[in-house]
Structure 1
Amino acid sequence: MSDQSNIKIPFAISGGIHIGAIIILALGLSFDDKPKNMPSAPSAPAIQAVMVDQQKINQHVEKLKQQKQDAENKEKARQAELERKALEARKNRELEQQKIKNLEIERKQKEIETQKANDAAKAAQIKVQQEKERAQKAEAVRKQKEQEQKASEEAAQKAAEKRKQEEAAAKKAEDERKRKAEEEERKRKAEAERQRKAKADADAKARQEQEMADALADEQAALSQTRNKQVMSEVDRFRAMISATIQRNLVVDESMRGKSCRVFIRLAQDGFVTSSQTLDGDQVVCRAAKAAINKAGRLPVSTEAGVYDKLKEINLTVSPEFN
């Protein structure tokens, strides 16, 4: 649009000049030739007409220049307005983009907060379920301990009754031995030798029973602090007694502190160690544990068949204890 205005203005100026020239030629005037000899009186109106026409042409030219200047000013104002509107539109577009960006940030933040809330709810639900499961397990353990305590008390009662029967049988055997000694002098020495061996066995058994009782007392005293004085099951009790017997025969060294060894032991019904081997652990501790088992020779076992079946082949972890 600006280019068309620039083209029209020169054309208008050119047209005005040509019109003026035509008028001058029509009047028979020339700016180059000298004036012809004419009467002086009639020349005044012609000059005046030329001057008037030239003045109109100048006025028209000035008018055209003013129109051109006005058109240029108007075009500049229009361009400035367009630039202002473009700048305003760009600013509005940037503001709108920033709003969209802020809204997107808020949306993402809300999504994160919602996800966190969902995660927290899930975690709380899991925690409630875990607490419920722990409570159920604790109740099951409590009932199991009650059953174990009852079984242990029944086993202790049976053992006491059996011990009385054995004592009665031993007394009867002693009476029979005396009677036979009085009847047969020849058999007295043999019987005395037999009784000596029996006494030696009885002493060894008494010592073993005393060791078992001492080990049990020590173990029960230690476990009473950590297990709220609950009575161990018969199997656990004898395992503890076996561990205590090995500990008493274990030769410890400072280099063994904090180390352990896992061993496998096979026992006969009377507690005699038929075989033992180390499975894994510190080599020094394993050698000491092997030596302690061999030194003990016999380990505490129960005379109950069901308990013995669980003790005849056992795995134990030997960890040296330091005072």
Structure 2
Amino acid sequence: MTSKSSLRLPMVVSAGIHITVIVILIIGVKFETKPNLPPPSSTQALQAVMIDQKQVTAQVEKIKQQELATKREQQQRQRDLEKQATLARQEREREQQKIKELQQERVQKEKETQLAQQQAKAAQVKQQQENEKAKQAEAVRVAKEAERKVAEEAVAKAQQKQKEQEVAAKKAEAERKQKEEAAAKKAEAERKQKEEAAKKAEAERKKQLEAERKRKADEAARLAQEQQMQDALAAEQASLSQTRNRQVMSEVDRFTSMIKATIQRNLAVNDSMRGKSCTVYLRLANDGFVTASKTVGGDPQVCRATEAAINKAGRLPVSSQADVYNKMKEINLTVQPEFQ
């Protein structure tokens, strides 16, 4: 994190420097003192503008390449610093882990030493032949104590190495701050130069603002005219759509009546059905073939007769017009037997 933040400010300063140079070059080209010559023709003026523009473009491209090279160099330097920081951190973690393991080993050895001492004390009350075992235990304790001292020396060396790494890190941080201060001073000097150039360009900027204001006004008038034309077209299309919708619904009603009439012609009725009805759901193919039918509700006897009439008809009237067919390809019909 420290290496990234240390590079961010130089990168911002570098970008500001390059932008300043570009602005100065453009202004320098525009405000270059010209000799008192007769007014050039329109063709000569156009050629002069094209030449100046090419020079500016070439200079801008050169600056872009320099900036790209500087950016790549800074990115490489940042990657190197990050790599060094990662290696240092990993080394420090390994040392800390080693210290932890040595400390655990020392604790374990101390426990073993205490156990040996207890055994030595217990051996004092035993017979003479147990004294030899106590001496052996003491020898083991002495050896482990020597190992503990070796471990403590290793811990001390690891701590010393860690302190040296911390000193090196502080030194690198001090160098980074010095570089940042130098870059800040340089940026301040360039900022002052930029302010001077900005004052010279203020008159030109006001002129360009006025031209832009006039262009926007003309553009607004053109857009308003286009919007009026679009609104008129939309109103006309809406009117046509409403007319067609009325025609479609009229055709739907007509074909619905024809479907009911077809079912009535095939409906077997008797007096017990008088005043009763049945509602059915129909799904129709585009040729009128009944692909599905289902009773929704009503008198069971009328519903059975209606299902039989639909199956007998096989096909029902449908419109050949797509928008009409789409409105009635799935419909619910209420069938009520008719009596002469």
Fold-level similarity (TM above 0.5) = no
Higher gyration radius (CA) = 1
Higher relative contact order (CA 8 A, sep 6+): 2
